[in-house]
Amino acid sequence: MNWTLEVIVVPVTDVDRARAFYEDGLGFKVDHDTRMGETRRIVQLTPPGSGCSIVIGTGLARMEPGSLQGLQLVVSDLRAAHAQLLERGVEVGPVQVMGAAGARPATDEDALNFAGFIFFKDPDGNGWAIQQIDARA
């Protein structure tokens, strides 16, 4: 039996603003946007190619908006993902290489498989990383 991670709840203050960020800025697909009465709304969004979704909304988690840190996506081409986010207006840091000495800006010559990262925050301050994994051992 497989146990798969399906959903991560991301705390936000403004559901419409967050939906626009994840849908338009990051290219996530909106699976559904459901209202349940006057006080509850659930929006499920899925990154392209992912089996795990995020849920934003009202009447959900008891976490403070911006308190979720360390969310991580994986792509096969980090430089292309970085360019795409910049084109979409996402405030994203530079491509970095992580190594024994810590993080440093990546050069064109750097191999990024497992070592390349970019970092950004959503409009509420929830922290995300994107790592390049183009081949697994």
The per-residue pLDDT for range 88-111, each reduced to its tens digit, is 999 999 999 998 889 999 999 999
Q: Is residue 73 part of a domain?
A: yes
Phi, psi (rounded to 5 degrees) for 84: -65, -45
Query: Distance between CA atoms of 74 and 84, rounded to whole angstroms?
Result: 14
Pick from 50, 48, 15: which is nearest to 33 by CA? 15
**CATH number assigned to the domain comprising residue 28:** 3.10.180.10
pTM above 0.85, yes or no: yes
DSSP strands (E only) in the chain = 7-9, 29-36, 40-46, 53-58, 71-75, 96-99, 102-105, 116-121, 127-132
Structure tokens, 99: 């190594």
Other beta carbons within 10 angstroms of residue 80's beta carbon come to 11
Higher-pLDDT residue of 81 and 5 is 81
26-85 pLDDT, tens digit per residue, is 999 999 999 999 899 999 999 999 999 999 999 987 899 999 999 999 999 999 999 999
Verify that 21 and 50 share a domain, yes or no. Answer: yes
Residue 1 lies in a domain: no
Residue 110's domain spans which residues?
Answer: 69-132
Q: Does residue 26 sit within a domain?
A: yes
CA distances from 36 to 15, 27, 42, 43 (A): 14, 26, 8, 11
**Total domains, the chain:** 2
102 plus 79 within the same structural domain: yes
